[in-house]
Amino acid sequence: MSEQHPVSTEQAQRELDLIELVVASFDGAPDERLRTVLQSLVRHLHAFVREVRLGEAEWNTAIEFLTAAGRITDERRQEFILLSDVLGVSMQVVAVNNEAYANATEATVFGPFFVDDAPEIRQGEDMAFGAVGEPCWVEGSVRDTAGDPIPGARIEVWEADEDGFYDVQYTDGRTAARAHLFSDENGDYRFWGLTPTPYPIPHDGPVGQMLERVNRSPMRASHLHFMVSAPGFRTLVTHIFVRGDELLERDSVFGVKESLVVDFVKHGADEPTPDGRDLESRAWSNTRFDIVLAPAGV
Ligand code: BEZ
Ligand code: FE
């Protein structure tokens, strides 16, 4: 198995016999899917242990790591999802569950900062609700893969402020930089948000320590989250990223897809805004994101 540490035929047979014994222990599982998943998991875990010839001290370190991940996890902090994110597993699950379909917009990682029941805004309103950052006019359309508009699509948007914090990380419990709106009768939408800025994933726990040990940065490329749903269509969870952001190449959770990188155009404070809003001498930006939903069930 391992080229650095070849084992004798007898030793290899012992190891393989153990795998078959463990796999067979699940043969009686009445739920076929559960049986398939667990037997495959056992085969892959054993292959991993054999391939790296996992030491007992290393096994202990892994147990300590998982224990620490459990200790820091509560209803607000989910270290196991974070671990899945930095190992690229979350993005692989996204890929497997959102198969490429025609010109449908690509999905990306959900992340831990979505909140149900974010306030509703009307077209052109501001989802920042006082969060600090450069105002950004965001507009686009929601269409099906044939190009027909989808009116009434529910569009959830959320993002970090310019200091890199989501509202759920504030200590005063206020809601900011998140909202939902509905596409209009032409399938179009528009709102004010914030120009996205980079921020680190939570890195004060075991996952952060692991990243540090391997010289990896916890930073995410600047992004604005979207979740778009409409009856008869596959719900799309995605982000847009900022063209030119140097972190696009090394997003800590592997969420970047080229098709999701869009232009954010900078405007001086003296330039008129698309809707005539007075930004009180603040510079602003604008972007466009045209969304294409795949049909449900593909
Ligand atoms: C986020 O984009 O909000 C996020 C995604 C994965 C891990 C942490 C944060
Ligand atoms: Fe995010």
- pLDDT of res. 4: 58
Ligand 1 atom nearest to 81, measured from its CA: 7
Cβ atoms of 141 and 183 closer than 8 Å: yes
* Position in ligand 1 atom list of the atom nearest CA 223: 2
Q: Which residue minimizes the CA distance to atom 2 of ligand 1?
A: 111
Contacts of 245 (CB under 8 A, 6+ apart): 198, 221, 222
Residues paired with 192 in a beta bridge: 126, 137
Whole-angstrom Cα distance, residue 193 to residue 127? 5
The preferred substitution site among 79, 92, 253 for testing ligand 1, maximizing ligand atoms within 8 Å of CB, is 253
Predicted local confidence at residue 76, as pLDDT: 85
Ligand 1 is surrounded, with C-beta below 6 A, by 82, 85, 109, 111-113, 201, 220, 253
Q: Which residues contact 83 (CB under 8 A, 6 or more apart)?
A: 69, 206, 207
Burial 256-268 (b: 16+ CB within 10 A, else e): bbeebbbebeebe
**For ligand 1, atom 1: residue with the closest CA:** 111
Q: Which residue(s) pair with 135 in the sheet? A: 194
Question: How much is the average pLDDT of 157-174?
Answer: 96
Residue 104 class from Cβ within 10 Å (0-12 exposed, 13-18 middle, 19+ buried)? Answer: buried
For 78-107, the pLDDT digits (tens) are 999 999 999 999 999 999 999 999 999 999
At 54 the pLDDT is 98
Give the pLDDT confidence score for residue 251 in this predicted structure.
98
pLDDT > 90? residue 160: yes
Ligand 1 atom having least distance to the Cα of 201: 8
Amino acid in position 150:
I
Token pair listed for 224: 């604005």
End-to-end CA distance of the chain, in Å?
A: 39
* pLDDT, tens digit, 9 for 90 and up, residues 251-279: 999 999 999 999 999 999 999 999 999 99
Residue 3 scores a pLDDT above 80: no
**What mean pLDDT value characterizes the chain?**
96
Average of per-residue pLDDT across 170-197: 97
pLDDT at 6: 86
Q: List the residue whose alpha carbon is closest to atom 7 of ligand 1.
A: 111
Tell me the sheet residues that pair with 143: 149, 292
Tell me the per-residue pLDDT of 18-71, one tens digit each, with 9 for 90 and over. Answer: 999 999 999 999 999 999 999 999 999 999 999 999 999 999 999 999 999 999
Q: What pLDDT band is residue 213 in, cutting at 50, 70 and 90? A: very high
CB 222 within 8 A of CB 242: yes
Contact in structure between 134 and 194 (CB atoms under 8 Å): yes
- Cα 43 to middle of ligand 1, angstroms: 30
**What pLDDT is recorded for position 75?**
86
Gap from CA of 234 to ligand 1 centroid (Å): 22
**Of 268, 259, 113, which is closest to residue 175 (Cα–Cα)?**
113
For residue 234, the 8-state DSSP code is -
Neighbour count for residue 133 (Cβ, 10 Å): 19
pLDDT in tens, 53-68: 999 999 999 999 999 9
38 Cα: distance to centroid of ligand 2 (angstroms): 32
Quote the radius of gyration of the chain (alpha carbons, Å): 23
Q: Which residues of 204-231 are buried (b: 16+ CB within 10 A; e: fewer)?
A: ebbbbebbeeeeeebbbbbbbbbbbbbe
Closest alpha carbon to 193 in 229, 221, 161: 161
Which are the contacts of 117, defined by CB distance < 8 A and separation ≥ 6? none
